[in-house]
Amino acid sequence: MSATRLLVISEDQDIRHAFETVARKRGGVTVAFDGDTVDDVHDVLEAALVVIDLDTSALDGIRLLAALSEHGSRVPVLLVGDCDSRTLDITRRIGEKRGLSMLRPLCKPADAGDVCRAVHSVVPMTAPQVVPADLVTAIERGQFRLHYQPMQDLGNGAVFGVEALLRWEHPDYGQLGPDRVIPVAEAHGLMGAVTRWVAGEAFEQYARWKQGGWNFRISINVSAEELRDPRFVDDIADLARRHGVPFPNIAIEITESRVIAEEVEVLETLARLRLLGMHLAIDDFGTGYSSLGRLRDMPFTEIKIDKSFVMAAGVSDWDREIVRVISMLGRRSGMTVVAEGVDSREALKIVGAMNCHVAQGFHISEPLPADELTEWLYDEGVPTGVLPPTAEIDAAPSSSDFPSVPLDVARTPIVPGPRPPGPLAG
């Protein structure tokens, strides 16, 4: 069996071309086409992915799904069609009920970018080579997107805030993460443009959520390089004013590097942000160059425990003790303590027992596009609110201030009433 053979059952030349484009950009991937129907189901069983075009004239797609199920197929199936999205989704669910591995279907017309995003989990691609001009093009052509991951208050179950995470919807390679953007941007002086795009987009979305009745904090990630720019504070403040975002509802997340704590320009930037009322979070604490000296010398108001410790805390006494000690240190220093990597119920219980203030991870929600997070807020009935300031050292919270309770306890949601007719997401 070839792990890289795709079978596309379609008469549509545009669909065929899209899959050919994807195959070319994924070395070693081959595509076999079938123009009408499948004579032998075993041809399908030997593929790494089968694409079923429901518009193919001689093919009954639903019967083919039944045949694959009867043969115990584990081959992922991608449906495409010119029908409405609801019919496509119902057909997908038919396949799921028959025990098949169904991908999210594609509505026509679909281009190579749509195909890339659809098949990426099945046919991963080697990392593309990104050059500075690609990033400029991405900003100019609106290829960047933000996904938002909620952070939940362990004391009352409310959404404490959301972290804005950069995604690049590349027309050829599908969705790329920030790891394909940040190194190139930092190396070629483009980090300022990227950061300001992220801030503007995130603040604009905050305004939409606020209009819908939700009140939570929004966090953006900032490269250490940007903290050296004397214009950075004014630019971020101007963007916040433009979109009506209160400064105390903004958090700047920084992954600490060895050099920034030694530079007076960086300390000036951080101090100016704090004087405006914005919060400062040290990200991935416990790894890299993070140290107690950094916490003493820099005006952080929030400490984010690196996910590697949280994810291992369920099986490692050492990692669990690290989570406990960092949480205690943060609380006694008057800082908000966020546990990252809360990807299971067990992890949620552990960080609650360790008296962390806030949890963030897949057990609560994966990062979502703004419209999907808006649906999540409505469907889950999640209350929202911002924690009281905890940066003042003389007002450090005690464990009783933020009792550790599971997030699935009964509670009264504090959410708006009926959904408004207009969109709350861009």
What would the pLDDT profile of 304-353 be if each residue is shown by its tens digit?
A: 999 999 999 988 899 999 999 999 999 998 999 999 999 999 999 999 99
Give me the mean pLDDT over the 291-303 stretch.
81
Question: Where is average pLDDT lowest: 140-149, 158-167, 288-297?
Answer: 288-297
**What domains does the chain contain, in order, with CATH numbers?**
5-119 (3.40.50.2300), 132-395 (3.20.20.450)
Alpha-carbon span 253 to 32, nearest angstrom: 47
Alpha-carbon span 226 to 161, nearest angstrom: 23
pLDDT of residue 286: 74
Tokens of 265: 């320009």
- Model confidence pTM above 0.85: no
Give me the mean pLDDT over the 283-294 stretch.
71
Alpha-carbon span 385 to 262, nearest angstrom: 36
At residue 426 the predicted structure's pLDDT band, cuts being 50, 70 and 90, is: low
pLDDT of residue 154: 92
Three-state SS sequence of 267-312: HHHHHHHHHHCCEEEEEEECCCCCCHHHHHHCCCCEEEECHHHHHH
Q: Tens digit of pLDDT for each residue in 107-149?
A: 888 777 777 777 776 766 666 678 899 999 999 999 999 999 9
Contact 384, 424 (CB under 8 A): no
pLDDT of residue 41: 67
- Quote the radius of gyration of the chain (alpha carbons, Å): 24
